[in-house]
Amino acid sequence: MDWTALSLSLELAVWTVVILLPVSVGTGRWLAYGRFRGKGMVEALVMLPLVLPPTVFGFYLLVSFGRTSPIGAFWQDMFGHQLVFSFEGLVAASVIFNLPFAIQPAQRGFEAIPLEVREAAATCGMSPFRSLWKVELPLAWPGVMTAMVLTFAHTLGEFGIVLMVGGSIPGETKTIAIAIYDRVQAFDDKSAGTMAAALVAISFLTITVTFWLSSRVGRRLT
């Protein structure tokens, strides 16, 4: 059991969720309520990581984060080390490839709020921010929660993109999914089996907790 890899994976998942929570709420709400030209394009763009092969997606991230790219060069100047093959680079990649998981369910959650209820919030004197906090978030919460759990679980399991962007540096970019692959390559089936089982347990637990929480939300309405 590679504890370093496991804790690295959990750390990566937590950072991804923390960064994506406001993005999920903001973009999900915008796409749910907004009526504008090119909305279909934006939605398609958000969904793109879902259908692209991880190697293709990882390749483009590697190129755009690399030292010769503007982003990569800027990072190098600011922090003195390169973005690719670092934990920060991994977080950035993780945030991007999780966009569909973080935005779609939240968007559905906001879409489920009747227009009349939002208008009622406004005519009750609630500012847009107060309406979000008091009315919309409590109602869209199951969607936002699902988004965050999917993001968390998906980050733990992502393999291809992590390998392309991060490589396999122990303690820096070697996540548990990479570690499992690594162990299998070394014919260490026992370790691979233990880690795979741990990943199954964690994923199962997260999903169960979500279902429990959203059923509680459902009950709150009656």
Question: Counting contacts by CB under 8 A, is residue 114 touching another protein?
Answer: yes
Question: Counting contacts by CB under 8 A, is residue 201 touching another protein?
Answer: no
Q: Which residue's CB is nearer to another protein, number 60 or number 141?
A: 141
Q: Which residue's CB is nearer to another protein, number 77 or number 116?
A: 116
Residue 3: burial class (beta carbons within 10 Å; 0-12, 13-18, 19+): exposed
Question: Counting contacts by CB under 8 A, is residue 188 touching another protein?
Answer: no
Q: SS3 for 222? A: coil
Candidate list 117, 186, 197, 200; residue touching another protein; CB under 8 A: 117
Candidate list 93, 139, 150, 195; residue touching another protein; CB under 8 A: 139
Candidate list 18, 50, 120, 201; residue touching another protein; CB under 8 A: 120
Q: Which residues of 95-118 are buried (b: 16+ CB within 10 A; e: fewer)?
A: bbbbbbbbbbbbbbbbeebeeeeb
CB of 198 vs another protein, minimal distance in Å: 37
Q: Which residue's CB is nearer to another protein, number 128 or number 171?
A: 128
Candidate list 14, 45, 81, 119; residue touching another protein; CB under 8 A: 119
**Size of site (CB under 8 A) for another protein:** 21
Q: How many CA atoms lie within 13 A of 9 on its CB side?
A: 28
Contact 151, 105 (CB under 8 A): no
User: What is the secondary structure of 102-116 as a DSSP string?
Assistant: HHHHHHHHHHTS-HH
Site for another protein in 28-57 (CB under 8 A): none
- Report the distance separating Cα 153 and Cα 149, nearest Å: 6
Residues that bind another protein (CB under 8 A): 114, 116-117, 119-128, 131, 134-135, 138-139, 220-222
